[in-house]
């Protein structure tokens, strides 16, 4: 029974991982969804997924399947009067592996500085399972435990293969392994400064990120463009060859990461090379009919409207950054507090409640749905769906929005090639 509960619980955590990577808030027992999301996308969790394909939650499901199947197999063997020591030894090894995993995962969670209560329940279930194995059934002698290694190994491989397909289709926080680079890049002539910057960027990328960039460019090139709408306000030069349109939710952690990326490339890339058209897509049915749930966090709608009210103002981008930086403690009152240095509370409140503001938000939402938004953030580059992957944004800006820029030929072949290979 404990193993069955663990199966459903780890499947739920896998779903939460997908939701979090789509921009939705992760559910966390006793609250604190940000803490659970931090652990789900920690450096340790990303490394496990990168090297084994299965996310940590997927390995939890695999362990559950073994923990459920092996005792049942033991009972069947005993019921038939057949030897069951080897199968039961595999069960004990599975329980021991579960305890070892708990130790490693607790250490990794402590390293993130976040308390994931969902993970804590997982640990409790694993420890309880191991305790039942040790208490209720007499284990074989230690020297005979090793007889269960082949069964445990074969069962683990079977569980891995069973979960491989859904794992491959799990949206990743970072890219997977990639082939080695094709060789050093030749820098273009001195008078092509942006191309030289692009060449340096490609040379400095780690191997895995070069593969991810190739994949992102292929998807961008193969995607269909959505007609650009007139900008209500632009951050950057209106004549810039690249316009980045971003649809965000104020409590989406990946949206905060995107804002940080845009902040960095605004500081580091040549002036006039791109502009930003910031749009809103709050993940709350209270103001967005395309969202299926009421989050109970009205700050999503309030912050979206507050940002719309700040469009065109010199403080807009920094105000958005302050809101994203305050995600964990953001409330409606804090939105007004962060806006106070720039606009009077009464003026902002009147604008938030104005029909014109609601109409602008509805226009943002309609445009996002036209672009087939599946989660926040949604990034459009010159009207074509792009990626929030930082090297992609830097590279496509330096390339002037051209996915066929000659330097991209030095990247590894895309794992999901577009119809028009670059």
Does the predicted model carry a pTM greater than 0.75? no
Site of tokens 């700040």: 310
Percent of the residues in the chain that have a pLDDT greater than 70, as a whole number: 77
State the pLDDT at residue 175. Answer: 38
For residue 192, the model assigns a pLDDT of 65
Please, which pLDDT band fits residue 422 given cuts at 50, 70 and 90? very low
> What average pLDDT does this structure show over 87-103?
79
Locate the domains of the chain by residue range: 2-168, 226-382
Greater model confidence, 94 or 263? 263
Q: Is the pLDDT of residue 157 over 50?
A: yes
pLDDT band at 180 (very low <50, low <70, confident <90, very high): very low
Residue position matching structure tokens 């912050």:
303
Is the pLDDT assigned to residue 181 strictly greater than 50?
Answer: no
Is the pLDDT assigned to residue 345 strictly greater than 80?
yes
Answer with the residue of higher pLDDT: 292 or 166.
292
**Where is mean pLDDT largest: 150-164, 183-197, 278-292?**
278-292
The arithmetic mean of pLDDT across residues 35-49, rounded, is 68
Q: What is the pLDDT of residue 28?
A: 62
What is the percentage of the chain residues whose pLDDT exceeds 90?
Answer: 41
Q: Which of 77-81, 112-116, 185-189 has the highest mean pLDDT?
A: 77-81
pLDDT for the residue 94 = 79
Inform me whether the pLDDT recorded for 12 exceeds 80. Answer: no
Q: What is the pLDDT of residues 222-269, one digit of tens each?
A: 888 888 999 999 999 999 999 999 999 999 999 999 999 999 999 999
pLDDT at 340 over 70: yes
Q: Does 6 have pLDDT greater than 70?
A: no
What CATH class has 226-382? alpha beta
Q: Which residue has the higher pLDDT, 168 or 90?
A: 90
- 206 vs 248 pLDDT, higher one: 248
């Amino acid at each position: 029974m404990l193993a069955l509960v663990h199966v459903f619980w780890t499947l739920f955590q896998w779903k939460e991982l997908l939701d979090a990577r789509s921009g939705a808030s992760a559910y966390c027992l006793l609250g604190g969804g940000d803490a659970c999301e931090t652990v789900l996308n920690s450096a340790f969790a990303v490394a496990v997924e990168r090297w084994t394909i299965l996310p940590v939650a997927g390995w939890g499901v695999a362990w559950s399947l073994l923990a459920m199947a092996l005792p049942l197999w033991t009972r069947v063997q005993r019921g038939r009067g057949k030897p069951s020591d080897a199968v039961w030894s595999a069960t004990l090894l599975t329980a021991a592996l579960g305890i070892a995993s708990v130790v490693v995962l607790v250490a990794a969670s402590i390293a993130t500085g976040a308390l994931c209560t969902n993970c804590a329940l997982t640990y409790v279930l694993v420890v309880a399972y191991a305790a039942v194995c040790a208490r209720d059934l007499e284990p074989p002698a230690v020297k005979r435990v090793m007889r269960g290694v082949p069964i445990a190994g074969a069962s683990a491989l079977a569980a891995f293969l069973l979960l491989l397909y859904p794992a491959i289709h799990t949206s990743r926080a970072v890219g997977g392994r990639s082939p080695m680079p094709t060789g050093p890049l030749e820098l273009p002539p001195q008078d092509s400064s942006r191309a030289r910057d692009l060449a340096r960027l490609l040379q400095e990328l780690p191997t895995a990120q070069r593969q991810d960039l190739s994949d992102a460019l292929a998807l961008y090139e193969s995607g269909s463009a959505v007609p650009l709408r007139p900008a209500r306000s632009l951050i950057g030069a209106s004549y810039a060859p690249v316009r980045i349109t971003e649809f965000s939710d104020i409590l989406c952690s990946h949206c905060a990461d995107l804002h940080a990326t845009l902040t960095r490339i605004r500081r580091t890339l040549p002036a006039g090379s791109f502009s930003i058209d910031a749009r809103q897509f709050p993940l709350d049915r209270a103001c967005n009919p395309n969202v299926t749930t009421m989050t109970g966090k009205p700050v999503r709608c309030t912050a979206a409207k507050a940002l719309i009210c700040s469009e065109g103002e010199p403080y807009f981008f920094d105000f958005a950054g302050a809101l994203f930086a305050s995600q964990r403690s953001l409330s409606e009152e804090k939105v007004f507090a962060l806006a106070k240095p720039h606009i009077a509370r009464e003026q902002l409140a009147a604008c938030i409640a104005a029909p014109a503001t609601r109409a602008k938000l509805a226009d943002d939402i309609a445009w996002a749905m036209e672009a087939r938004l599946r989660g926040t953030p949604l990034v459009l580059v010159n009207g074509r769906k792009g990626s929030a992957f930082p090297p992609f944004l830097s590279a496509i800006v330096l390339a002037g929005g051209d996915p066929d820029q000659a330097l991209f030929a030095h990247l590894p072949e895309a794992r999901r090639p577009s119809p028009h290979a670059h």
